[in-house]
Amino acid sequence: MNHSRLLPWSLAALVLAACGGGSGGSGGGAPAAFELHVDTAAGSTSFVSARVAALVWEAPGGALSANVLPAPVELPLVDPAGESAGLALRSAPPLGTVAVHLLLQGGATALRSDGTNLAVTLPGSDLRIALESPWTGAATALALGHDAVPNLVVSGAGLTWTPALSARAVEQLAVNVADGVVASIDPAAGALVVMLPGYQDLAFDLAVPASAQLTGLDGQPRTREAFLAECTVGSTLAFSALRSSSRGIEASSMHHRGRSRGELHLLGRIRTLDVGTSSFVLDVQGQRNGSVWGAPQFAAVTVDAASAVIYTSHRSVRTSASFTDLVVGMLVKVEGSRPVADRMTAREVEIEDDHGSNRPGEIEGQVDSVDLGTGTITVVQRGDDPLLIGGVRVTSATITVTANTLLQRKTDSGTVSTTLDTLTSADRIWIRGEITGASTVRAQWVRVEAR
């Protein structure tokens, strides 16, 4: 499907070595020295992935490290649902590292909102991504993010794309996961160990604070004790969390999806709705095979959702929904039986967006002011870190807080719920939400910390 290109001669040996390592990830929660995070949310309706054959670090003088990627892996670069992804690496960046090179095999592939699957031609096989500042080793993680909404240009039978990506050191990182697998449970400590397929099955410690919004298998709210009692080893969890240590993450919301049953996972948009039969026609955009979304085997499927658990996703609170909440054009994920005669029975329907609106990735900045009357926060950039809305740099942003917004404060003793009137200009702020204008966002999740 994708056309291979010759790699730069100085990197060819690294790629060949990586290809010799087989396919897949590190597997089974195997240890890794470093994890590179990818923020896939970019305001695009297309899903774009590429096969990464090797990864090398670039020193200030241009010297390249050895390959630190244990084996080739398919990496999501753009995801309409904004699920977190990452690469498990053999070593962290050496001090002073100024860029990361992703060495790709055969360009990229785009799964578009109309269900078409097209090859994407990139400028070259060596995707160089500059760090905003040289790596000092003091940060929790290194994250790749988009500096602009991806512009996929039709060219012949495929697409062309020049990625606008940058890498930055982060102390705290928003993580959105749809399919974490429980490896162990510690009810007394309110904690889990989960393996994340999007990180090649690496294991992470997941803290469940008392303030977390928890949803059970039936889509109904749970207390922390009831939620942990319901989970078992092998349970699949969808969650939003904040990562503030190399392997520690703290959940802000979580949904128990039950044990994986090997069912079919489809991503697409609703074409038509039939209220009488509680069914809808799905224009299929992608199909999940293991932990990777790929080309679908079905162009359109009629989904029977009469007995499905329906819920909203990527909100501060994962809330139960009903068939009447579905609308034509909505992006959804469906999990259920394999289609027979282009019909399937859904076990779960997950609403991925609100009436097709684009979600930004994590927004980070500094609180400038708060207007309690309008329920808004004015955010400006923090130091030299750019303030980005949908990939576009802005000088300030207006954040609207609603009754559904989860507002939290990070303290030395843990994360606690807070209110708008406690925010000050000393607070560093992280936001996830829905873009409503060039510099406005309706917040789904807000975290502040005095700095």
Predicted pLDDT of residue 193 = 94
Q: 248-259 and 202-207: which strand pairing?
A: parallel
| Model confidence pTM above 0.85 | no
Question: What are 371's strand-pairing partners?
Answer: 376
pLDDT tens-digit profile of 210-269? 888 898 888 788 999 999 999 999 898 988 888 876 668 888 888 898 876 667 889 888
* CA distance linking residue 252 with residue 246, whole number of Å: 18
Per DSSP, 18 falls in state H
Sign of CA dihedral 66, 70, 74, 79: negative
Supply the pLDDT for residue 290: 59
User: Helix, strand, or coil here: 361?
Assistant: coil
Distance CA 16, CA 442 (A): 46
Q: Which residues does 11 contact at the CB level (< 8 Å), separation at least 6? A: 54, 56, 64, 101, 103, 126
Regions of the chain where pLDDT drops below 50 = 1-10, 12-31, 315-317, 354-359
Two tokens, residue 283 = 């224009």
Please, are residues 215 and 256 in contact by the beta-carbon 8 Å criterion?
yes
Rg (CA), the chain: 21
pLDDT at residue 18, rounded to an integer = 41
Instruction: Tell me how far apart the alpha carbons of residues 326 and 51 are, in angstroms, rounded to a whole number.
Output: 34
CA end-to-end span of the chain, whole Å? Answer: 49
DSSP letter at 260? -
**Residues 6+ positions from 360 with CB-CB distance below 8 Å:** 41, 43, 388, 389, 390, 432, 433, 434, 435, 441
Q: Which amino acid is at 410?
A: K
Length of the chain: 451
| Rounded Cα–Cα distance for residues 89 and 359 (Å) | 29
- Cα(87)–Cα(108) distance, rounded to whole angstroms? 17
Instruction: Please state, in angstroms and rounded to a whole number, the distance separating the CA atoms of residues 206 and 449.
Output: 20
CB 259 within 8 Å of CB 303: no
- pLDDT value of position 26: 40
Residue 19 and residue 13: Cα distance in Å, rounded? Answer: 10
